[in-house]
Structure 1
Amino acid sequence: MLKLKNTPMPVQRILFVILLYIIPVSLIAQVHVTGKTTDSEKKIVSSATITITLNEKVITSAVSDEQGNFTIQLSDVTSHNYILHATHVGYREKMVLIIVPKAGNEVRLGNVVLDKESKELAAVSITGKENIYEQKADRFVFNVEKSLEATGSNGWDAISKTPGIQSNGNTISIIGKSGITVMVNDRKVQLSGDELFAYLSAIPTENIAAIEVISNPGARYDAAGNSGIINIRLKKNKNEGLVLIGTGTYEQRTSGTYTGNISYNYRKKWLTLYGFINGGQRITQPVEHQQIYYPASLWASENAKHITRNYSSVQLGADFTLSNKDVLTVLTERNLTSKTKEDHNSLTNITGLSNYKTDSLIETGNHINRDLNYTNIDLTYKHMLDGKGSNILLTGDYLQYTTDQDQALSSVTYAPPASDHRFNTASYAAQTITNYTGRLDLEKQISKGLSFTTGLRTSFTTTDNNYLFYRGYDQGPLIEDPNQSNHFNYQENVQAAYASVNKTGKRINFVAGLRAEYTDITGELVDQHEINKQHYLKLFPSLNYQQILNQNSKLTITYGRRINRPSFSDLNPFKYYINQYNYSEGNPALRPSYSNNAEVTYTYKEKYSIAAYALLTNNFFQQIPFIDVTRNTAYFTRQNLGKIDAYGIHSYAPFRITPAWSVNSTLYLFYYSMKLPYLNEMLDYGQFTFYGYLNNQFTISAKKNLTAEINFNYQSLSQIFLYRYRPNGYVDAGVKWSFAKKQATLAMNVYDLFKTYPQQQVVNFATQHYTFKNAYESRYLRLTFTYRFGKQTVKDRKASKTGNSEEFNRANN
């Protein structure tokens, strides 16, 4: 027992005050919240999910027992106001304000009464009140699940239909910018080109909640991607129960194709399971038109392709809630089948420019078979350090990606008189990419409105590329060409560390961060005994500053420095032949490009926004044409070019014209400029370009759940380096009917009604004169039927930050 009677009076009072302070704090530090979940008739509601939040952050959660009773412990209590959320299938969410007493260590809520939903409402998949598009402080959000246009499609198509995103063949970019990173749940997809297309095409839109376009990511994100990140956010079940969604889609182009998908979400107490299995066949028949001007002749080619792709894939994910503070996530993705067969038939007409008569013809048949396999495994462990939002995130990832491709080309030149000859090639390419990634992130709440985040990331990637090339002439046999066959090994190790500070206040919020990345690269041409090494350490600062101007307005300023590393295929030196006079190849000597990206955004009423940006890129690289006028050959390679600048403004505005007609408008006006010596001349250009996208949504009959969409897209003349792109655009239209208490949906969409979307490239500089148009089948009809089993609300998945997200996008650019 503490004795005070012999202590001088002033000290007695001080100790007494200290005791009065310490005792209540020690009691409140561990507070138990108890209650019982019942319905309005006082019947027990068991297995209800109980979640407690503070400032919209989840602090802890539990599940009521068979008698409806629950007990939740709050540790390190720092606020007197918490929110308790009680949810259960078939009932409306109940929110209760928890006021922690100044004395005592228990809060007794008594009965927490849940009101039943109507039968129709309980059967509907509720996704919240978000608009189809949202402009947030640091990103533009396309809520895919609310889009009629995206119904029955896949991840690739959904990205292509995102306002401000441009797709051309198998490449995607942000309008007015170059260099983009694609992520799924904050995990960078280490693929690009045909392989990125195949991977994203395997993700059904029924599993996608939203697509986020982030122009200036913070220090926590990988620094890759000059112009920012496209992040696909997947759905996840919020409440207990099972949801199954079955989708069947038929598409009519020149040929008919089909896809089928079954996705599932299941949650029971501490276990959540989710994923999908899908498969289908896609047949496309694009036609490429190419014209190459030599000093004495014009080579005009038409290449008709017939591409058949059969695919199936599976995703299996599980979240294990080990305790109120610990969650373990396991996610695996694997394709079951991905086989592509391409048949190309090309005819080249060579016309003399002096007499405009046909000198000769080249007829080429090109047959390609490609088999793709990938396995991706992600492990994520999250531990809550306290009740303030502090946590540790640990991830480990493994990726293996393989492709096997064989190509047989036969090209016959008909040149009178009697000088016909045949050029034959066969090639076999095998590629294996393996990646291991580990990541550790720490988020610490320092005080109210102030947090600190830091982390480490390590990534080890190896690629093994084996290429055998055979050639023959006329009726002779195919003989291996040692100058073309090769073995290319590539190793890339990236070690990164970052730190950022987040401060939120009443009028000013900001996030300031710094990321350091050390890259160690070794590229080896085995047969030539050539080794190319690169080592560099680079810093990447970032800033997001937001000021609340008044009740309706705010101003946001962002800045970030980023890197764009060449993809693995950009570095691969093997040649891909179109005919004996036309081929493409990679460049193992490529260096990364660096950019500084700044943007200022004004937002009004959280709906309307206008922004101005500047993107300054050094060491810019891309595929470029080389037309050899002395040998009448043309080839495409990759090369670092120099400095390219982009400036622009863009705006977003939603409008409601009538109660049944709403419009979402996205507009861009940007300017590209570049000045550098090229081919012994000075390339100096500047080009203004306009881009506009209008999304029109109509409610035809609210009673019959019948809606429609009409979307307009247009881009004016644009130029990047040598390539000038002629104006293009499209008009899409669709109608959707929901029935069977909204569990069934039938949708019909028609894309590119007037067949105006395919782009045409023009090169006209020095001795380089070239035009190209890919008349791919952009106009097609899609019919989709979807049926939802289960009566659960499905919300978007909160992304677990997985580690090899960066490697899974560059595997084949």
Structure 2
Amino acid sequence: MLGLILTLSTQAQSIKGMVKDENGKPLAAANTTLHRANDSSLVKFTVTNTEGNYEFAGIGEGNYYVQFTHVGHETAKTAVFSHKNSGESQVPVLTMQKQGTSLQNVTVVARKPMIEVKADKMVVNVEGTINAVGNDALELLRKSPGVQLDKDDNISLSGKNGVQVYIDGKPSPLSGADLTAYLKSMQSSQIETIEIITNPSAKYDAAGNAGIINIRLKKNKSFGTNGSMNAGYNIGTFPKYNGGINLNHRDKGINIFGSYNYNWNKNTNQFLLYREQLDTLFDQRNTMFGRNKSHGFKAGADLFLNNKSTIGVLINGNISQNEMKTDSKTPISYIPTGVVDRILTANNESENKRNNVNFNLNYRYVDTAGRELNMDADYGLFRIKSDQLQPNVYFDPTMTNQLSQAIYNFVSPTDIDIYTFKADYEQPYKGGKLGVGLKTSVVSTSNNFARFNVIGNSKDLDVDRSNHFDYTENINALYVNYNKSFKGFAIQAGLRLENTNNKGESYALFSNGSINEGSGTTPLDRNYTNLFPSASVTFNKNPMKQWSFTYSRRIDRPAYQDLNPFEFKLDEYTFQKGNTDLLPQYTNSFGITHVYKYKLTATLNYSHVADMFTQLVDTTENSKSFITKENLANQDIISLNLSYPFMYKSYMAFMNLNTYYSMYQADFGGGSRKIDLDVFSFTFYMQNTIKFGKKKAWTGELSGWYAAPSIWQGTFESRRIYSIDAGLQKNILKGKGNLKASVSDIFRTLRWKGSSNFAGQLTVASGNFESRQFKINFTYRFGSNQVK
């Protein structure tokens, strides 16, 4: 009897309603959230059933409104209504409009969830995350679910390397140190979302074995004239400053927008390298001090020719400068006795300039029949220059007597030019949607590497250890993609054809630094064509329990730095060189995904990687080592990813667990040159947000991640690493201002370490950086905030 009374009481305190589409039909699977009217705080979350109905049970007395979102429809919400403790509240039927329909004078008040798990990707909403403030793009990736960075900041996803980074939907041509430097110059205040796409369709480039990470920059969509300003301050060991402004004007005929961001920082980090080779021990310790400044800018306009056609122009870029000073000391010992024989100091100084400007002309056509055409023509340029002074001075074990010295100056300018044209067309076809497209791109890279021997106040070009390397890559692609929904299931299938033509030419330099055109060789000249199929089947008869099965084939092509056969000296005993025999790596991936009640998402994936890239630390001249890229025979990896969002009243949380088992096998000559490693590893990510205080004006956030021991680049075995951040946020100045404060890596646990034992050489690398920082940021918004 008591149970019956409690049940009836709960039912009597419910809020019910119904949602229909623009044709008056019940709308199933609409995300439905109940909010308090006084502060818009979230109370409960549900989805509509197959009849378009929804219900919130056990709701206390108060004033509320209900908000709805659905794919392909504009966000909608009900009027505010009162709900009593006794009785049932029946909300009037609400009709959702398709996207593109005008919504007069709607002010957006809802906050985005921190992380959204969608059918084809995971979206990290950087704008709404307190602990993102003051971070650069690389740090944001380090803290994103399933993403890992190794000792050289190479990015992997679910244990797989070969991640393709996109900026605003366009692939970046950079890789390695150049990509790392570019991401470090991009501030969180410029970024709206980070999309982690693990199973891209045929519409995307086939590059990216592990998938695609698409960094979307902010773009204001509000009507009228509006903008925002932001300023931030960070302090760790040294202070850091950042600020920016964003302006936008939009009416029925045109949208004009622009933004500028500035960042200045001084930082320090440590890098330790312990190396045993034959009977010699090298114990290198480096302390690095850096000074960076960058200017990011974006400007453009969209002209609405009519209600179907839009033409746009865009220019964006990043101008950055970095100065680095390294204090390096390496005691060199004889292992049998443990006695230090000599000490090498290499106090390097370097100055790097990295400038990037991109131009885009685009056209979009969309009609009411479902036909859509998008065309983009792009030109991008990167101008990179590195100037490094490397003095190598040898002392006796007491550091009182200098034994010898060798001083070098490396000057390495790189010019990259990218030309791209692409067209994508979609239209309804036999109850589904058919998409076709084409793309052609040319990336031209010119890299000059000059090594000078410094003697006193003069320096001479070492022509035997300098070179000029030109690399051109042309990729032509066609694709077809089709998706269709049936009763109880949906299919998507695509096929992409890519033709690749790349050529590398190497030249010697004259003593005056000019290129010796007659010395040209062509160590690389390849042409190949591949097919890349992709497919998925989703069973959604019961929207509360959906299953998806996916397959895709993808490729990763070597970067130009990994192909340049010349040597780059890191110090007297370590150098780096490319490998012209490096082949592309190919991945076949199979996945199964289950989504339960639009909350719990589980994905099981198996991938086989052929000719996987690995970074080897090999040996030469008995005591010297060199770093190069090689193809492993294969990699097999099984991963399981679990995501769950949780909401209760003013509390919101997101949890992600990514586990994987990976096996690496290769034979580069038997014995100690054979690789046979496997690992079971996992990463865990959690983010918690709560509103509190009078009128829920304060927001607190606690986030953290943990990465278990793993394997980097197929040879380095890493130890565990983790971090915890905390932050507070308050809206001020009647909602126009926003103040955020946070502390990153509270317990200073971001200290990495890895070891490798290959070719008779034991290597242990470790390091840390200025990870614990206090950060404060203020944002002020002005002008119109209406979306129509």
**Pairwise same-fold verdict (TM > 0.5):** yes
Distance 2:97 2:460 in 1: 80
Whether 2:785 is the aligned partner of 1:755: answer: no
* Cα separation, partners in 2 of 1:582 and 1:381, compared to 1, 3 Å: same
Q: Is the 8 A contact 2:576 2:628 kept in 1?
A: yes
Aligned-residue offset at 1:447: 4.0
Residue type of the partner of 1:253?
Answer: G
* Counterpart contact for 1:697–1:710, Cα < 8 Å: yes
Match of 1:74 in 2: none
How far 1:419 sits from its partner (Å)? 7.2
Secondary structure of the 2:593 match is strand
Helix, strand or coil: the match of 1:440? strand
Cα separation, 2, equivalents of 1:97 and 1:285: 53
Matches within 5 A, 1:224-303: 224-303=207-286
> 1:364, CA displacement in angstroms?
0.8
Are 1:733 and 2:760 an aligned pair? no
Partner of 2:644: 653
Q: Secondary structure at the match of 2:132?
A: coil
C-alpha RMSD of matched pairs (Å): 2.7
Give the C-alpha shift of residue 414 in structure 1: 1.4
**Whole-angstrom CA distance in 1 between matches of 2:443 and 2:365:** 28
Partner of residue 471, structure 1: 453
Provide the secondary structure at the position in 1 that maps to 2:583. coil
CA contact (8 A) 2:501 2:528 kept: yes
Q: For residues 490 and 132 of structure 1, what CA distance do their matches in structure 2 show?
A: 41
Distance 2:103 2:343 in 1: 82
CA distance 1:347–1:235, change in 2 (3 Å): closer
Is 1:151 aligned to 2:143, yes or no? no
Query: C-alpha displacement at 1:602, in angstroms?
Result: 0.2
CA distance in 2, matches of 1:276, 1:497: 35
Deviates more, 1:292-301 or 1:195-204: 195-204
Answer yes or no: is the 8 Å Cα contact 2:133–2:775 preserved in 1.
no
The AA in structure 2 aligned to 1:219 is A
Aligned pairs (5 A) from 1:285-684: 285-335=268-318, 337-384=319-366, 386-415=367-396, 420-448=403-431, 450-472=432-454, 478-527=459-508, 528-531=519-522, 532-628=524-620, 631-656=622-647, 659-681=649-671, 682-684=674-676
User: C-alpha distance in 2, partners of 1:217/1:232?
Assistant: 15
Cα distance between partner residues in 2 of 1:328 and 1:507: 39
Q: CA separation of 1:203/1:408 partners in 2, compared to 1, >3 Å: closer, same or farther?
A: closer
CA distance in structure 2 between the partners assigned to 1:240 and 1:192 by the alignment: 38
Identity, % of aligned pairs? 29
**Mean Cα deviation higher: 522-531 or 572-581:** 572-581
Distance across 2 between alignment mates of 1:697 and 1:431: 44
Residue 645 to residue 348, structure 1, CA distance change in 2 (3 Å): same
Does the CA contact (< 8 Å) of 1:679 and 1:766 recur in 2?
Answer: no
In structure 1, distance between residues paired with 2:364 and 2:746: 48
DSSP 3-state at the match of 1:478: strand
Q: 2:763 aligns with which of 745, 767, 770?
A: 770
Does structure 1 conserve the Cα–Cα contact (< 8 Å) formed by 2:277 and 2:622? no
Q: 1:372 to 1:678 in 2, by over 3 A?
A: same
CA distance in 2, matches of 1:753, 1:468: 43
Conserved 8 A contact 1:650-1:668: yes
What letter matches 1:280 in structure 2?
N
Larger Rg: 1
The CA deviation at 1:245 is 1.3
Say yes or no: does 1:745 pair with 2:727. no
Mapped to 1, the partners of 2:597 and 2:702 lie a distance apart of 26
Structure 1 match to 2:156 = 173
Which residue of structure 2 lines up, in the alignment, with residue 185 of structure 1? 168
Alpha-carbon displacement from aligned partner over 1:419-468 (angstroms, at most 9, x marks no partner): 700011112111111111111221121244x1111111111121111121
**Aligned equivalents of 2:97, 2:123: Cα separation in 1:** 33
Q: Distance in 1 between matches of 2:614 and 2:96?
A: 57
Instruction: Work out whether residues 513 and 543 of structure 1, in 8 Å CA contact, stay in contact via their aligned partners in 2.
Output: yes
Match of 2:121 in 1: 139
CA contact (8 A) 2:393 2:402 kept: no
Tell me if structure 2 keeps the 8 A contact 1:83–1:95: no
C-alpha distance in structure 2 between counterparts of 1:154 and 1:725, whole Å? 24
Which of 751, 765, 776 pairs up with 1:783?
A: 776
Once residues 275 and 398 of structure 1 are traced to their aligned partners in structure 2, the CA distance between those partners, rounded to angstroms, is 19
Counterpart of 2:695 in 1: which secondary structure?
A: coil
* AA partner of residue 432 (structure 1): D
Q: Cα–Cα, structure 1 residues 141 and 416, in superposed 2: closer, same or farther, change >3 Å?
A: closer
Classify 1:313/1:307 alpha carbon distance in 2 versus 1 (closer, same or farther; 3 Å).
same
- 8 A contact 1:208–1:232 mirrored in 2: yes
Aligned residues of 1:464 and 1:488 also touching (Cα < 8 A): yes
Distance in 2, matches of 1:730 and 1:98, equals: 43
Normalising to structure 1: TM-score of the pair? 0.80
Please name the residue that 1:711 is paired with: 703
CA deviation after TM superposition for structure 1 residue 95, in Å:
9.0
Tell me which moved more, 749-758 or 475-484: 475-484
**Residues 608-664 of structure 1 deviation map (CA, whole Å, 9 limit, x = unaligned):** 111100121111113221134x531122111222211111111001224x5343321
Verify the 8 A CA contact 1:367 1:409 in the aligned structure 2.
yes
Aligned 8 A contact 2:619 2:759 in 1? no
AA of the residue aligned to 1:737 = K
Higher normalized contact order (CA 8 Å, seq sep 6+, divided by chain length): 1
Q: Distance in 2 between matches of 1:710 and 1:640?
A: 41
Aligned pair count reads: 683
What is the deviation of 1:278? Answer: 1.1
1-side partners of 2:429 and 2:103: how far apart? 36
For the 8 Å contact 1:554–1:602, the answer to whether it is kept is yes
Q: Structure 1 residue 690 and structure 2 residue 682: aligned?
A: yes
Shift of 1:148: 1.3
Unaligned 5+ segments in structure 1 are: 1-81, 88-93, 100-108, 796-813
Deviations 1:165-212 (A, max 9, x none): 123454322132211111123211222334334444454434433221
Tell me by how many angstroms 1:739 deviates.
1.3
**1:351 and 1:553, CA in 2 relative to 1: closer, same or farther beyond 3 A?**
same
User: What SS is found at the alignment partner of 1:149?
Assistant: helix
TM-superposed CA distance for 1:781, in Å, is: 1.5
Determine the structure 2 residue equivalent to 1:102: none
Alignment gaps of 5+ in structure 2: 1-71, 78-92, 509-518
1:713-771 CA-partner distances (Å, limit 9, x unpaired): 11111124210001111111111111112211111111111111232110124502000
Question: Offset of 1:301 from its aligned partner?
Answer: 0.8
1:222 is paired with a residue whose SS is: coil
Q: Using a 3 Å threshold, how does the CA distance of structure 1 residues 85 and 773 change in structure 2: closer, same or farther?
A: closer
* Amino acid corresponding to residue 145 of structure 1 in structure 2: E
TM-score, normalization by structure 2: 0.82
Once residues 164 and 158 of structure 2 are traced to their aligned partners in structure 1, the CA distance between those partners, rounded to angstroms, is 14
SS at match of 1:712: strand
Deviation of 1:570 after TM superposition, in Å, equals: 1.9
Structure 1 letter corresponding to 2:375: L
Which secondary structure state, in structure 1, belongs to the residue aligned with residue 692 of structure 2?
A: strand
Structure 2 counterpart SS, 1:285: strand
CA contact (8 A) 1:236 1:794 kept: no
Q: 1:741 to 1:633 in 2, by over 3 A?
A: same
The alpha-carbon deviation at position 295 of structure 1 amounts to 2.5
